[in-house]
A and B are shown apart, each in its own frame.
Chain A
Amino acid sequence: MKIILYIIKKEFKQIFRNKGMLPIIFILPILQLVILSNAATYEIKNITFGYVDLDNTKTSRGLIEKFEASNYFNISNRFSSEKEASNNLLKGAIDAYIYIPNYFERDLQKHKINSVGVYVDAIDGAAAGVINVYITQIIQNYSRTITADFIQVSDAVQKPNIVDSIPLFWYNQTLNYKTFMVPGILVLLVTMITLFLSGMNIVREKEIGTLEQINVTPIKKHQFIIGKLFPFWVIGMGLLTIGLILAKIIFNVPFVGNLVLLYGYTSVYILVVLGMGLFISNFTDTQQQAMFIAWFFIVIFILMSGLFTPIESMPQWAQWLTEFNPIRYFVEIIRMLMLKGSGFMDILPLALKTLAYAVVMNALAVWSYKKTI
């Protein structure tokens, strides 16, 4: 135990003495949290919008006004023909346009079916989907009010008989994407920093030759490894704390869950990451190699974590692969804890998997660490 303390003391001294490393550990993650959380958005704003209005009546103009009133759409461009509109879409001058046919108002008054054409630039499929939903919503809302008006005017017997759905969004009621993204990005930062630092740390001692010196001392494998990794565990927890405070202050992300549970889970989770870092360290000879391998895994972990794309929409084999992705577990848990207020029993299955992962990973790391050459 005493020996471990000597190593921990030495590691902390080296970390805090390294003036190049400190900003990387503490300032960069903060910058990333602030920048990424603001930039990584699903919200589509500033849609450049156009329309072709062949009807040119009060009703059709009313519809266009609805678009102009919306925050999501930029000032509409009016085109005289569908051909002109479609050319503009092709050039990328507009993101979407609607086509209002002749007799739009007349058909509505007569309760005849008429349709408005919606054309969306779908190169970015996800964005196109969102734009389509926005446009459809505006048109449906408008058609509902307008139909009601006509019914009164014409005093029709017939009443619109529509089954309507009223969405209620739980856990993130305002559909604020930052509430959704900030916890996830926090996970990335904690993971990246601890993986890179632990992965490069032991390999660095290999490079400068001090590891050989350590290996000829009677130090035990577990003493050395615990002493080496503990400081990074502390740094990981520190980053989580800084991140949570920023999430509250800058983004006002709610924290409805149990803070103790989050810290408890994170303390196990970081062990998984540190085990990986050590494992990488054991199989590489230079910091570059270690960095490259760590980076390779981090990119896969991030893209398959469910942070940016839902795991449910991945192909089956990919979903199966995500079982080996620690980031996936943490992203899910941090969202459950911060946004849903899940309790101990809710996170237990995932937490147990993480614990098993930590045990296996660290066993592998200790086993593969050799005091011989």
Chain B
Amino acid sequence: MKTQNVIQVEGLTKMFGDFTAVNAITFEVKKGEIFGFLGANGAGKTTAMKMLIGISSPTSGLAKVAGFDVYKETESIKKNIGYMSQKFALYDDLTVKENITFFGGIYGLSKKQINQKRSELVEELGLVDVTNSLVSSLPLGWKQKLAFSVSLIHNPKIVFLDEPTGGVDPITRRQFWEMIYNAAHKGTTIFVTTHYMDEAEYCDRVSIMVNGKIEALDTPKKLKEQYKTDSMNDVFLKLARG
């Protein structure tokens, strides 16, 4: 089943003046895969991700996301992906219900679809009691789970998560990863960046970026064998320190 490549990247490069933020990275991500995109702060993860989601134009190289070109078909890419940014990006001054309705609406869902999605969503997340509360009144963990669900509202082929669990407590992180697994099971491809090495263990494959380059890419198990340690933490430290 996991044969089709939904993300294909070849020599993708982004320069800011003389500075090479992303240096000729090459990888592919298969359908339904949970792909961990690791790297220290400033390694170029977010820049690479922004090229893939079509809000930043690459300097050179090739990339196709959901079969669409990142240079010319960014709007088609956007129809097929979900995105959850580092910054919390729902509207604080709207209620849970209004946020879901708004994002469903701008993805072009019908009223019926929105209503159905909304009741499913609040049920799953256990937010039934707070549907009419402002999002600003929710704890961070709840907000993050809601934001993740909203990024899936239009059943995208791929969802990009930029440090989705930053600042969230361990229990909520656990629940968050359960949601990620669920989505992956339904065939959604997950592209996730994180700083938590235990989360890296949950991924099917991980890539580790150092100074704009991908220095390692494999399953967590093989990476640990290759670097002769028993935790992803040590793999990361060995690579990131050079």
Interface residues of A (CB under 8 A from B): 2-3, 5-7, 9-10, 13-14, 17-18, 208-210, 212-219, 371-373
Whole-angstrom distance from the CB of B65 to the nearest CB of chain A? 11
Closest-by-CB residue of B relative to A370 is B55
CB-defined contacts of B83 to chain A, threshold 8 Å: 213, 216
Distance in angstroms between the alpha carbons of A210 and B99 in the assembled complex: 12
Distance in angstroms between the alpha carbons of A2 and B109 in the assembled complex: 10
CB-defined contacts of A213 to chain B, threshold 8 Å: 83, 85, 89-90
Among B57, B75, B85, B105, contact of A6 (Cβ-Cβ < 8 Å): B105
User: Is the Cβ of B75 less than 8 Å from the Cβ of A372?
Assistant: no
User: Is the Cβ of B90 less than 8 Å from the Cβ of A210?
Assistant: yes
B69 at the interface (CB under 8 A from A): no
User: Given A13-B98, A212-B85, A213-B83, do A7 and B106 touch, yes or no (CB 8 Å)?
Assistant: yes
Q: Residue-by-residue, is B92-115 near A (CB-CB < 8 Å gives 1, otherwise 0)?
A: 111000100111011110000000
User: Given A216-B54, A218-B107, A373-B50, do A14 and B78 touch, yes or no (CB 8 Å)?
Assistant: no
User: Given A13-B98, A210-B89, A373-B50, do A216 and B105 touch, yes or no (CB 8 Å)?
Assistant: no
Which 3 pairs from chain A and chain B are nearest by CB? A6-B105, A209-B87, A213-B89
CB-defined contacts of A2 to chain B, threshold 8 Å: 105, 108
User: Given A209-B87, A216-B78, do A3 and B56 touch, yes or no (CB 8 Å)?
Assistant: no
Among B81, B89, B94, contact of A212 (Cβ-Cβ < 8 Å): B89
User: Is the Cβ of A6 less than 8 Å from the Cβ of B56?
Assistant: no
User: Is the Cβ of A216 less than 8 Å from the Cβ of B98?
Assistant: no
Among A6, A18, A373, contact of B106 (Cβ-Cβ < 8 Å): A6
Whole-angstrom distance from the CB of B51 to the nearest CB of chain A? 10
Q: Residue-by-residue, is B53-88 near A (CB-CB < 8 Å gives 1, otherwise 0)?
A: 111110000000000000000111011010101011
Closest-by-CB residue of A relative to B110 is A2
User: Is the Cβ of A218 less than 8 Å from the Cβ of B85?
Assistant: no
Among A3, A10, A17, A209, contact of B85 (Cβ-Cβ < 8 Å): A209
Residue with the greatest number of chain B CB neighbours at <10 A, chosen from A5, A6, A18? A6
Q: Residue-by-residue, is B113-149 near A (CB-CB < 8 Å gives 1, otherwise 0)?
A: 0000000000000000000000000000000000000
User: Is the Cβ of B78 less than 8 Å from the Cβ of A3?
Assistant: no
Whole-angstrom distance from the CB of A362 to the nearest CB of chain B? 21
User: Given A18-B93, A371-B55, do A216 and B102 touch, yes or no (CB 8 Å)?
Assistant: no
User: Is the Cβ of B75 less than 8 Å from the Cβ of A212?
Assistant: no
Interface residues of B (CB under 8 A from A): 50, 53-57, 74-76, 78-79, 81, 83, 85, 87-94, 98, 101-103, 105-108
CB-defined contacts of A216 to chain B, threshold 8 Å: 53-55, 78, 81, 83
Among A10, A214, A217, A371, contact of B94 (Cβ-Cβ < 8 Å): A10
Distance in angstroms between the alpha carbons of A64 and B91 in the assembled complex: 72
User: Given A3-B106, A217-B78, do A10 and B55 touch, yes or no (CB 8 Å)?
Assistant: no
User: Is the Cβ of B87 less than 8 Å from the Cβ of A373?
Assistant: no
User: Given A10-B94, A14-B94, do A218 and B88 touch, yes or no (CB 8 Å)?
Assistant: no
CB-defined contacts of B93 to chain A, threshold 8 Å: 13-14, 17-18
Distance in angstroms between the alpha carbons of A7 and B106 in the assembled complex: 8
Whole-angstrom distance from the CB of B105 to the nearest CB of chain A? 3
Among B50, B89, B98, contact of A209 (Cβ-Cβ < 8 Å): B89
Among A5, A208, A214, A372, contact of B92 (Cβ-Cβ < 8 Å): A208
Residue with the greatest number of chain A CB neighbours at <10 A, chosen from B57, B81, B93? B93
User: Is the Cβ of B108 less than 8 Å from the Cβ of A373?
Assistant: no
Distance in angstroms between the alpha carbons of A14 and B134 in the assembled complex: 11
CB-defined contacts of B75 to chain A, threshold 8 Å: 218
CB-defined contacts of B105 to chain A, threshold 8 Å: 2-3, 5-6
Distance in angstroms between the alpha carbons of A9 and B106 in the assembled complex: 12
User: Is the Cβ of A212 less than 8 Å from the Cβ of B106?
Assistant: no
User: Given A3-B108, A212-B85, A216-B81, do A14 and B91 touch, yes or no (CB 8 Å)?
Assistant: yes
Closest-by-CB residue of B relative to A17 is B93
Distance in angstroms between the alpha carbons of A372 and B54 in the assembled complex: 7
Pairs A–B under 8 Å by Cβ, sample size 9: A2-B105, A6-B106, A208-B92, A209-B89, A210-B91, A213-B85, A213-B89, A216-B54, A216-B55
User: Is the Cβ of B79 less than 8 Å from the Cβ of A218?
Assistant: yes
Closest-by-CB residue of A relative to B81 is A216
Closest-by-CB residue of B relative to A224 is B106
User: Given A10-B94, A212-B55, A372-B55, do A218 and B78 touch, yes or no (CB 8 Å)?
Assistant: yes
